[in-house]
Structure 1
Amino acid sequence: FYGNLPEKGQVRITDLHPDGFFTFIKYLYTRKATFVDIQQALHTRTAAQKYMESRLVEDCDTFIRKEIQPTNVCIVLDYSVKYENTANLDGMMDNIVAENIRQVLKSEAFIATSSESVVRILKTPGLKTTEYEIIQGVYKWAVARCKQEPQEPAIATLQKNMRPFLPELRFLTLTAHEFVTGPTSWKVMTGSEALAVLCNILKPGSEQLPEVICKSTENR
């Protein structure tokens, strides 16, 4: 252990998950790393990083690489966004997201993921699905956030949760029908914003787009 620790009495550790710290201590005694799931491996990795147990970090990464899949990749993304020390896992995460984006968007882990991870997913190159499916996935994520704030007006809460993603969502690649039956009906934009987007879908360049709207007309 490193750092200033009292020689007697209890040591209170508040920045590590109990499950990860227990697995870390167990490893120190046995020199064997065993995990029940990817979440435990991530919690243990945090402890191993803190106390500079590099071999255990490698064991955690080996388990994560073996177990990571579309249904849990968002859990690893959240970890990566928070700790920013997963360079050796980033390529694998991006590939899983790009190749399996439909499964990712439908997963429970995506609905529970952080807004920062949603942005990272939207910035991932080569997402193999339609833009409409991506926008629908983000909408479902935002709706789930609204349910956590039932005391607030529904439309206002939806806009608060979804508008930060507007610069990453390629509305101009939608058909007019998709845009009207989807984003317009959800009220995630103001009336003038929606009209400007619709005009540009029907006739590119016909109206000036608001700064918040993504200008890309290319499919992913």
Structure 2
Amino acid sequence: MTAAAPPPCDWQTAKKKVKERGQYLLESGIWSDCRFIVGTEPHQQVFEGHKLFLAMSSPVFEAMFYGGMAEKDPIAILDVQPDAFRALLEYIYTDRINLTSFDQACELCYGAKKYMLPHLVEECTKYLWSDLYPKNACRAYEFAKLFEEPILMEKCLNIISNQTQEVLSESSFDDVELSTILTVFDQDVLNVQSELELFTAVTRYANRHNQCAAGNPSNEASTRHPTLRDAIMKIRFLTLSPQEFAEGPATSNLLTEPEKFAILMNISSPSTTVPMPGGFSTSRVRRLQNRNPRQFEHIFAGSSSMDTSRTSMIKFYAQGGNPSAFTEESNNEVSKKLYCTRVPLRLTDCMNTSVLDCAVTFTCDKNVCVYGIQVPAQDCMESEERQSTYTELLYAHLLDADGSRLTYTHFTSRVPWRSLIDISFNRPIYIQRNKVYKVGVVLHKTGLYHVGQYPSQSMCNGVVFTFGQGRSGTGDSVRDGLIRSIIFSISPSNQNAGNAHATILMAGLPGGPTEHKFP
């Protein structure tokens, strides 16, 4: 995008609306004061912009141009496609959103996430909802999983469960990630006549990618990266008749001869002394027999808005569909948000000059649901005492022991000096007892923070959190002084027998952070 000829005299008088003037500035490039090199060769393009316009719409651009993250011009953006960046600029300058395809919506949604434009994310996500078909359901699920859009994930699973035969028959299924195939095969409700349809799809996938699962060591199913064998072991072979198995899977090289014999023996006689191969499904329940309308479809069917930075409500349902008392509105202790506060042994000052990154590993002795964390706000300087608040800008996330991101949030808001800030993740996460997790926060605002030293354990409502776990001997010491509290709820699995699973309802928290004074 290059600057055009000098604008006509008094051009402003012909533009009645702000969006018309913004469109003119974007197209003409007059008064531009920043440049972006977008995309990768040979498709790179140069875009001109106006710092004020961009910062006015995005806290990321604000930090980029007027904060501690200031970058040199021109700014290289290699992870966004030029067409998507052009559409993003058009939205910023004119409020216009012109979505024409599923692929475009995915690309634009990525850019909107990156630059914290929640309304644009919402519109892209709604477009994706309306453009879901068996052909793109798996790809949309992968997109939703990558960018942690739980409502879109659930809608994709609805289509996969209700139109499984169409999904499996699409050629696009041959290009999905193995982890997606595992998710599909994990579903208790699938619209298939028999498990042969799943096995046929896996066989086609193996041929497409020149993979062979037979003969792999059984312990490969426990490796970090999913394998084709992991998918095969989820197929419910015991729901087939001996003839179906003999004429289908038994003729395939995806199973070893001993596995074929053991499976056929178990199909023919439930009382056989021959055990099923290790890790293979022992279920004899046909998926179609369990078929009911998906339990939570009504929750998402009418969803028209969502807060992409915060989640305020979570409900747990026990197997069988009976709702438990796990809601924020309930007075039951199970649903109450709790604060595992780390009482500081000592507080020291830390000046953030650019980007301050802190994290801490932890375990807890009970299953809990983590909502977010609590971090300290800045201590004001003498020159700043005139104002009671300032604008905080940070990023926070929750990781598992392997470093995989479970949830995150971008936070920007006016907060009081010397307060504690409640940061809610995009979605609550159900975590398991005695497993190692890691919470981290990255602060982008320059200023003075109080960093603490804490005891290794803290207890709240009978739940013991142990910090600094899983890092001994690795040489990877993490600075954890900014994580003051973990916000959580006690899981229903600690109160009731049986398993539970979580359904996330997207709803914005009441405006502004919760204020707590320093001890």
Instruction: Work out whether the TM-score is over 0.5.
Output: yes
Structure with the greater alpha carbon radius of gyration: 2
- Of 188-197 and 133-142, deviating more is 133-142
**Structure with the larger helix share:** 1
Structure 2 unmatched ranges of 5 or more:
1-60, 217-226, 288-519
Q: C-alpha separation between the residues in 2 aligned to 1:107 and 1:34?
A: 28
Cα contact 1:139–1:162 (8 A) shared by 2:
no
Aligned to 2:125: 61
- Which one of the candidate residues 212, 215, 230 is aligned to 1:158? 212
Q: Is 1:23 matched with 2:87? A: yes
Q: 1:51-89: CA deviations, max 9, x gaps?
A: 110000111011111111111111101212333x11121
Superposed counterparts of 1:45-194, under 5 Å: 45-83=109-147, 85-129=148-192, 130-146=194-210, 157-159=211-213, 162-194=228-260
Q: Is 1:41 matched with 2:95? A: no
Structure 1 unmatched ranges of 5 or more:
147-156
AA at the equivalent of 2:188: P
Q: C-alpha separation between the residues in 2 aligned to 1:116 and 1:103?
A: 19
Q: C-alpha separation between the residues in 1 aligned to 2:115 and 2:153?
A: 23
Q: C-alpha separation between the residues in 2 aligned to 1:18 and 1:140?
A: 35
Aligned to 1:216: 283
Q: C-alpha separation between the residues in 1 aligned to 2:260 and 2:145?
A: 32
C-alpha displacement of 1:5 = 4.5
TM-score by structure 2 length?
Answer: 0.38
Q: C-alpha separation between the residues in 2 aligned to 1:81 and 1:48?
A: 16
Q: C-alpha separation between the residues in 1 aligned to 2:188 and 2:88?
A: 36
Q: C-alpha separation between the residues in 1 aligned to 2:152 and 2:173?
A: 18
TM-score by structure 1 length?
Answer: 0.87
Cα contact 2:88–2:112 (8 A) shared by 1:
yes
Q: 1:11-47: CA deviations, max 9, x gaps?
A: 2223334443332223222212122211211111111
Moved over 6 A (4+): none
Aligned to 1:154: none
**Structure with the larger strand share:** 2
AA at the equivalent of 1:113: V
Q: 1:77-110: CA deviations, max 9, x gaps?
A: 1212333x11121221111111100110011221
Task: Label 1:106 to 1:5 Cα distance change in 2 as closer, same or farther (>3 A).
Answer: farther
Q: C-alpha separation between the residues in 2 aligned to 1:118 and 1:174?
A: 20
Cα contact 1:81–1:117 (8 A) shared by 2:
no
Cα contact 1:81–1:116 (8 A) shared by 2:
no
Task: Label 1:196 to 1:13 Cα distance change in 2 as closer, same or farther (>3 A).
Answer: same
Q: C-alpha separation between the residues in 2 aligned to 1:80 and 1:96?
A: 14
Identical-pair percentage: 25
